[in-house]
Amino acid sequence: MIRKSIIALSTVLLLSGCNSILTPDGAKLEMNTKPELVHTSLAKEFKSIQPPDGPPFVVAVYSFTDKTGQRKPNDTYASLSSAVTQGAEVFVIKALKEVGGGKWFRVVERVGIDDIVKERQMIRQTRETFEGTNAKPLDPMLFAGILIEGAVIGYDTQKQTGGYGAAIFGLGDNVQYSQDVVTVSMRAVSVQTGEVLMEVSTTKNILSTSTSATMFEFFDVGTQQMEAEAGVTENEPITYAVRTAVESAVVELIKEGVRKKYWSYATKHAVAKPTSTSPTNSSDKK
């Protein structure tokens, strides 16, 4: 009966230990937690933030690089792979396009601006070749009034490590965990003046767990033995941590702009203004 209880307990710990960890001081660590803002409160839900009082702001993202210099952790050999993604601007662009239901920002392409310029030149030359001087000109490109700059500035490994285990009558289990932290910095820069309007930083914990159960038993008056071990390791994706930290930074950037009166939330009875496609609409509110 005791052995059955121990086996049941080990099974429960094995199944539940990968989602949350109790540290020796009683604190609970969980995976897929909300990102924490540096020196601020937790961000609001990404999709539920209020829309702006007016048309979306035109912004540009040139790059969002990895400033950590960290390589992927490895205990056996030196890895040449980077610890965090080298293309975080993809997450920034996606977050700017989707925050608040897509009502806050219009994002112009700048990561592949050389390709756009070359393609426009080809179109212009082709039209001039077949239509001559009366060729229809291309529409002017939309330019941004705000640049979104920033980087992944920190990746701290093994901020907290630990584990616990127990065994009785040859049956036992063991849990180990490790906690890393990724830090993202983001700022909004005015194109007209070059002034840094706002700057925010967010952090996200990355939890890795390893849970195992063992059994050791002797048979036939101690002449034969049996040993069994089962375990599972789960690592929270670093890419997920970077993406959620970026989304949290975008939300906090909006809230910071409201606090500094660069823009404001729409009132209940406000009528949405039409968004112009003219290149002059990018930063008139600045």
pLDDT tens series, the chain, 286 aa: 445 544 554 555 555 555 666 555 556 667 677 776 554 444 456 778 889 999 999 999 999 988 888 777 666 656 667 778 888 999 999 999 999 889 999 999 999 999 999 999 999 999 888 888 888 888 999 999 999 999 999 988 888 888 888 888 778 888 888 888 999 999 999 999 999 999 999 998 888 888 888 887 777 666 777 778 888 888 888 888 898 899 999 999 999 999 999 999 988 644 444 443 333 344 444 4
Q: Can you tell me the distance from the alpha carbon of 256 to that of 112, in angstroms, rounded to the nearest whole number? A: 29
Domain 2-110+147-259 belongs to what architecture?
3-Layer(aba) Sandwich (3.40)
Give the residue from 84, 38, 82 showing the smallest Cα distance to 206.
84
Which distant-in-sequence residues (6+ apart) come within 8 Å of 135 by Cβ? 124, 127, 128
For the chain, give every domain's residue range: 2-110+147-259
